[in-house]
Structure 1
């Protein structure tokens, strides 16, 4: 029988699913309309899902045999009609583009070099590419609209590409989803190599969420083993709420070789989805739930040059506290303005105001250097008043959080 904590997590997950149940299906039927005042986001959507025969669904949660791609344009309501960090799902179809996210067009992208050709045509002047890998319990349209929201709200200067793998979108299909990430490693590698091999692409950032972090890091590990290193164009890795066993991540990280991309983690100790994952995965710490200010994690993260943003004190509308990175206006802007640009987030110039209460743990590649000494203590990225509020919250959370294990990350 499930213990009380696990029952609470499952119940919360069911509530989230119930809140999604009222959404109309078929939101990806293209309208072809872009009224004045709306914004549009043009995405390359690559998938290993099986095709769906239902109009506007496009792909199911089952596994397909090929890597398939579409160019999907999503319209987003005017700024005064929506909240930053939220996806405004239509209550009925057709969607009202002045109030809801709406699909403008869906165009198949076909051919052996399709991904590279799309990138060549859609690269901004920065020559950057952002590849997003979604997490557990996501339908195809969930992934597309969420990524469109992230791209729009972060105002990122990069060509947006999403890789969506076969998820049945049910909390009771955790094992199926996990195996689907393994099933999709070769396809994600194919997509990444298309970007790497494009002479017009300058650098690539990979951002992954939840279970998608397993797929992203495993694919990088696979590429490093095959080539002896991770391709140099892949420069930034952002792992949000990573559903990764800390022991396994340590092994994966070592396998990436000496010249690794820069890693940034978004963690939160009140992440209920990761609490469930931990319970069903041998009760080993999940990377997205660690306390980066405590040992052994603090020393190990600093030693390996990994930057951590602790979002525990951040409040969001997500009942599971699993999607804070996408729902917080401050965090999505940070992703677009600094992380994808390769800028540090450990200096005092990053101001989030009082509602975030995050801590950035800066790291240095050379332990013992002047930079390492400066950042060895967590740096609050907000004003002193907010810091005091955060310290109070930190103590309250600390009393409720389970002790971390003594497993070292990236030792």
Structure 2
């Protein structure tokens, strides 16, 4: 595809927000984050607190470019380390009967109560490459599939570890879980520091991806990145393609959730990856408040995680690129910023494990029209009249270029049926 896969014309027709309005929105977002992020959480949750009967243990490899912390139970802070460090961390998740799927049950005090709260079971530093290889050998499932997660902006080390443990557990993904955590100061006021930290970390992530893909015991690598983590992920893949002539063949699937990416820059990154790209899936939501602020402080250019895939130029460019988009705008979760829907919705984490992390495309056989978690084809709102209002009432809009015509046929038939009923009722 020549030029930018996402080149937007929409920002030129949108008036620039006033400074006072932008500052007001930043202040409101800061307040929301301060109220929701760490309120009431004890410090040092990575001090081992054991497990409980009926709890589930998630054993993960944690690779980081953060500098070590001297504070007990914190392990790594928000400053930048001089090299990539690794550890094996086992997290205990309370029985499902004692928790809401899609949520992290943070300890109210330490030691944690493993029967009701997330708890750290063990932390084992892996200083040698041979120790990492041993973890991989012992952790690979029969599928020999690996999932690498890259967290987003405003995340502490323990935030990333516990959130990934929740995703792995709730999705029931058949994978060896690896998390890459970069230096975030976990402050709404350090957005630029965090962004530069992703740039600081892209070589290390590229190295981790290459080592993982080159391991003969591993058959398939899926990458899932959230928010600002999408930037460092796509940058690492772009660098790999430039260095090696292509993205490593075992990296078959890339999931970007609420990607905090300038759409024009993503178009250039996409082009640089060359013709042999992994399968890309995007989770977007037009009501994402965090990305609204990011757009305003980044030159008012649309963020990839906030696009409307039914609108041009996105509609045509996504179809040509073969990128699948799940639009979660209508999906309601407990996230007041609407920035973490992919992980907090029980239906979405199930979909992640059953289909997406397994490298399969989500189609209408997985999400049916009219169900509680539903789907509509790209463009139906423009083509089927009153039937579209019925279809779009479902919480998820999905755009998969390969199945678009299948969806359109279903909704067209629905439109004709509704149209015939209306004609009969009105005598027209």
TM-score by length of 2: 0.84
2:319 maps to 302
Please list every run of 5 or more consecutive structure 1 residues that lacks an aligned counterpart in the other structure: 365-370, 389-411
> Does 2:43 match 1:21?
no
Please list every run of 5 or more consecutive structure 2 residues that lacks an aligned counterpart in the other structure: 1-17, 374-393, 419-428
> Moved runs in structure 1, 4+ residues, more than 6 A?
none
> Does 2:305 match 1:288?
yes
1:86 maps to 103
> Does 2:399 match 1:361?
yes
> Does 2:231 match 1:214?
yes
Structure 2 CA distance for aligned equivalents of residues 359 and 93 of structure 1 = 42
Shift of 1:267: 0.1
Out of 296-305 and 1-10, give the one that drifted further: 1-10
1:150 maps to 167
2:198–2:231 contact (8 Å) kept in structure 1: yes
Structure 2 CA distance for aligned equivalents of residues 105 and 335 of structure 1 = 27
Out of 185-194 and 164-173, give the one that drifted further: 185-194
Which of 82, 85, 95 aligns to 2:112? It is: 95
Shift of 1:372: 6.0
Number of residues of Structure 1 aligned to a counterpart in Structure 2: 374
Q: 3-state DSSP class of the match of 1:129?
A: strand
Task: Give the direction of change, closer, same or farther, for the CA distance of 1:379–1:197 in structure 2 (3 Å limit).
Answer: farther
Superposed CA offset, 1:153-203 (max 9, x none): 000001000000000001100000000000001111121122112111000
Shift of 1:279: 0.3
Task: Give the direction of change, closer, same or farther, for the CA distance of 1:286–1:156 in structure 2 (3 Å limit).
Answer: same
2:77 maps to 60
Shift of 1:210: 0.2
* Residues 263-342 of structure 1 mapped to structure 2, 5 A cutoff: 263-342=280-359
1:291–1:297 contact (8 Å) kept in structure 2: yes
Shift of 1:243: 0.3
Superposed CA offset, 1:298-337 (max 9, x none): 1100100100000000111111110000000011111110
Out of 36-45 and 189-198, give the one that drifted further: 189-198
Q: 3-state DSSP class of the match of 2:246?
A: coil
Q: 3-state DSSP class of the match of 1:187?
A: helix
1:232 maps to 249
1:115–1:195 contact (8 Å) kept in structure 2: no
> Does 2:194 match 1:177?
yes
Structure 1 CA distance for aligned equivalents of residues 63 and 71 of structure 2 = 19
> Does 2:266 match 1:249?
yes
1:120–1:198 contact (8 Å) kept in structure 2: no
Out of 118-127 and 208-217, give the one that drifted further: 118-127
Q: 3-state DSSP class of the match of 1:86?
A: coil
Q: 3-state DSSP class of the match of 1:238?
A: strand
What root-mean-square deviation, in Å, do the aligned CA atoms of Structure 1 and Structure 2 show?
A: 1.9
Q: 3-state DSSP class of the match of 1:276?
A: helix
> Does 2:130 match 1:107?
no
Structure 2 CA distance for aligned equivalents of residues 12 and 251 of structure 1 = 30
- Which structure has the bigger radius of gyration? 2
Structure 2 CA distance for aligned equivalents of residues 144 and 310 of structure 1 = 26
Superposed CA offset, 1:245-299 (max 9, x none): 0000000011111111000000000000000000010100000000001111011
Task: Give the direction of change, closer, same or farther, for the CA distance of 1:42–1:86 in structure 2 (3 Å limit).
Answer: same
2:279 maps to 262
Structure 2 CA distance for aligned equivalents of residues 173 and 186 of structure 1 = 22
1:10–1:276 contact (8 Å) kept in structure 2: no
Shift of 1:16: 2.4
